Amino acid sequence: MASEHRSSRPYSHLRQCQQEFSQTVLHVGDEQVAHHGSRQVTEREFLNEKFEISFGEDKESLDNLVSELKKAVDAHGISHDEIEVMVVAYSTYWKISEKLFSMSLDEFAALDDPKVTLAGRHDRPHSFAFPSRKLRIEACCSLAKTIEKQPLRPFRKGTWLAQTVHQVGTGQDFDGFEPKPLDAAARSALGIEKYQKTQRFMDVTPDPTDPATTEHDFGLYVDEETLRLLEDNSRTFGSSLLQRILAMSMASAFIYRASEAINLESKSMGDIQNSVFDSVLDAFCRDDKGAVSEEAKEKLFANVKAAPEIFVALVEDKLGDDGFGRDIRDLVIGGN
């Protein structure tokens, strides 16, 4: 889902801390990506190079950033333990966001080194496991919880006081499924205008194993009001959980449709080459160096033919990150 893109904030005392925060630099191997910058890398680099973020050039610049953040927070009467500095990655491949780094303001102030590792060569979060056309990495100082509402003061959990954005991409062809609004026109076109309470719809009518189809032939539709709320509240607990559930729902429908097409026409691996589904198989069959393992791909293809639910389980395991089960259980017992 889209993140918040406004460059100005309706709050005072933030200009200087935003200026300091904008000095943040993303490092991809030996390459650098400045605030609002973007860089294209190869799939191998995306999957293997170390990703680091620097909150300034040295300890002195980090201390200057901390000083300005504290001034802004104190000016609004916000406690330091109500603030967190975090880095979030948003992968366009599966349309999910993932928190890579999080510290309270005081913990952040105690850092000795302004450079923080987001993904190492062998320790890589899920966002770096798929070579996305575009990976958006956002660092921000935001409210860790909702506080008392006061005029011209941020109060809602997730609201950022200062933010920096960096983008890295691979230029690959397939890049997942962008959610579309399930509005009146879409409901009519999809033949579900009678079902006004439907919140999501996975349109997987085309054959994903046909090389003539593209990701644009498929559709993940979300009720227009729900989608708007997801975009406006992209960092909340509920939004993060729903994003992952939607991604898994679409992946599940897509896999079962592919399995149906493969079995109906007795297709081989060669028959689906260069199709959208072929790209999906590649994404789940890369070795440690980023190359597609043909042996793993053959096994996964056989799995899709005989037991597609196993591939669905694999997708949930990959997309569900370490906190997915915890988040679901928290939701069940009324957590937030």
Check residue 147 and give its pLDDT: 92
Q: Report the C-alpha gap between 258 and 264 in whole angstroms.
A: 10
- The DSSP result for 213-233, as a single string, is --GGGSEEEEEHHHHHHHHHT
Q: What percent of the chain has pLDDT over 70?
A: 90
Q: Could you give the angle at the alpha carbon of 113 between the alpha carbons of 8 and 107, nearest 5°?
A: 65
Work out whether the CA dihedral 193, 198, 200, 206 comes out positive or negative.
negative
For residue 140, the Cα-to-chain-centroid distance in whole angstroms is 15
Domain range list for the chain:
15-169, 179-332
pLDDT band at residue 105 using 50, 70 and 90 as cut-offs: very high
Give residue-wise pLDDT tens across range 205-238. Answer: 999 999 999 888 999 999 999 999 887 776 677 8
Which of 25-34, 120-129, 230-239 has the lowest average pLDDT? 230-239
Which of 45-54, 66-75, 130-139, 275-284 has the lowest average pLDDT? 130-139
**SS3 at position 164:** strand
* Helix, strand, coil share of the chain (percent; to 5): 40, 20, 40
Check residue 95 and give its pLDDT: 64
Residues in the chain: 336
pLDDT band at residue 152 using 50, 70 and 90 as cut-offs: confident
Tell me the C-alpha to C-alpha distance, in Å, between residue 74 and each of 80, 81, 96, 151, 233: 8, 12, 33, 15, 25
More confident residue, 151 or 131: 151
- The pLDDT of residue 321 is above 80: no
Check residue 279 and give its pLDDT: 86
Check residue 289 and give its pLDDT: 63
Mean pLDDT (whole number) for 306-323: 83
- The DSSP result for 167-218, as a single string, is EEE---S-----EEEE-HHHHHHTT-TT-TT--EEEE--S-TTSTT--GGGS
- The pLDDT of residue 94 is above 70: no
Give residue-wise pLDDT tens across range 241-269. Answer: 888 888 889 989 999 999 999 999 999 99
Check residue 320 and give its pLDDT: 64
pLDDT band at residue 4 using 50, 70 and 90 as cut-offs: very low
Average pLDDT taken over every residue of the chain: 87
Mean pLDDT (whole number) for 132-158: 89
| Closest CA relative to residue 158, chosen from 185, 173, 140, 131 | 140
Which of 46-60, 129-143, 292-306 has the lowest average pLDDT? 129-143
User: Do 313 and 252 touch, CB atoms closer than 8 A?
Assistant: no
DSSP 153: B
